[in-house]
Amino acid sequence: MNQLDTLKQFTTVVADTGDFLQLSAFKPQDATTNPSLILKAVQKPEYRPLMQDTVARFQGRALDEQIDRLLVRFGCEILSIIPGRVSTEVDARLSFDAAATVTRAERLIALYQAEGVPIDRVLIKIAATWEGIQAAAQLERRGIHTNLTLLFAFCQAVACGQARVQLISPFVGRIHDWHKKAAGASWVEAERAGANDPGVQSVRRIFEHYKHFGIGTEIMGASFRNVGQITALAGCDLLTISPELLAQLAATDAPLPRALDAGAARALDLPAVHYDEAGFRYALNEDAMATEKLAEGIRAFAADAVQLEHLMQAA
């Protein structure tokens, strides 16, 4: 049994791609997308007709509606291949506007439902700002499930658990990148690999907190740089993995033991943690890595959304 098959025994494997033609080879349960992945996909000749057709069908509509229809088009194609859920992201430029995030999320769900997609097969991705988390709490109360992304800090995870969001996506690789850059010449890759990787340690802390206190929010490790980060989180609820790393796992027959265990987490002695808005903002401010990576991620996704708009206008 290869490592991908072994991993699937105790973790739900999710494909992190807009390139849905690759999905059938790895048989993931779920799939995630983001503006960067969709932008990358529509620049390939095999996907460009989807964008051109969307523009032709909805010419004259507002550009933001055309973008949402393109995202849903990709999501529907993905859902025709996988048995589970697809995550579709709200425009990152709305990350600090809870009301606008709710409105955009409701439109995405309405577009999916118009295509016959059940509401429980879609997760709305929202940046884990304070406003994003509050928007997600509203959506969850309305039966729309959410995936809180760009999550780098423990306080973000705690607030998401309090809001009873469906799922969070802590970004392993980007945490690793920040610490490696900050350490400079003193960084020794071998000493900070596997269970010692700062991104892995961040997800482990969240996993132990959620399982210890019986928090139902699903944890989906994301943004992996190497297979070692993935295997060190075997046993996490879900892991969203690029096609390149899925292929590496499928090509390896080495043993893959469970690394995270909910039963062990329940036996730990952990303090209860709660954040109100002021406490959340201060805790996030105190975490330089999370503050920088959250802002950087929002800027990058927003820039890719603008670039996607330009491509659609030129189509």
In the numeric block, the tokens 């991993």 are attached to 7
User: Residue 178, SS3?
Assistant: helix
CATH of the domain at 82: 3.20.20.70
Measuring CA to CA, which residue among 128, 153, 126 is closest to residue 288?
Answer: 153
Percent helix, strand and coil across the chain, each rounded to 5? 60, 10, 30
- The torsion angle over the Cα atoms of residues 141, 144, 148 and 149, rounded to 10 degrees, is -160
Range of the domain at 256: 3-314
> Given pLDDT bands bounded at 50, 70 and 90, which one contains residue 315?
confident
Residue 301 reports pLDDT greater than 90: yes
Q: Locate the DSSP E strands across 41-166.
A: 86-89, 122-127, 146-151
Residue 29: per-residue pLDDT: 96
> Given pLDDT bands bounded at 50, 70 and 90, which one contains residue 7?
very high
Cα distances (angstroms) measured from residue 50 to each of 193, 301, 312 = 40, 21, 11
Mind listing the pLDDT tens digit for each residue in 172-196?
Answer: 999 999 999 999 999 999 999 999 9
Mind listing the pLDDT tens digit for each residue in 144-173?
Answer: 999 999 999 999 999 999 999 999 999 999
Residue 57: per-residue pLDDT: 95
Domain count, the chain: 1
Residue 142 reports pLDDT greater than 90: yes
Residue 71: per-residue pLDDT: 96
Mind listing the pLDDT tens digit for each residue in 95-112?
Answer: 999 999 999 999 999 999
Cα distances (angstroms) measured from residue 4 to each of 17, 60, 118, 270 = 17, 45, 28, 32
End-to-end Cα spacing for the chain: 45
Largest CA distance in the chain: 59
User: Taking residues 244-258, what's their average pLDDT?
Assistant: 96
Per-chain mean pLDDT for the chain = 96
Report residue 95: phi and psi, to 5°. -60, -20
Residue 204 reports pLDDT greater than 90: yes
* Residues labelled as active-site residues: 125
Residue 292: per-residue pLDDT: 98
Residue 33 reports pLDDT greater than 90: no
Residue 228 reports pLDDT greater than 90: yes
Q: Locate the DSSP E strands across the chain.
A: 12-16, 30-32, 86-89, 122-127, 146-151, 167-170, 218-221, 238-241
Residue 35 reports pLDDT greater than 90: no
Residue 79 reports pLDDT greater than 90: yes
Measuring CA to CA, which residue among 29, 123, 24 is closest to residue 71?
Answer: 123
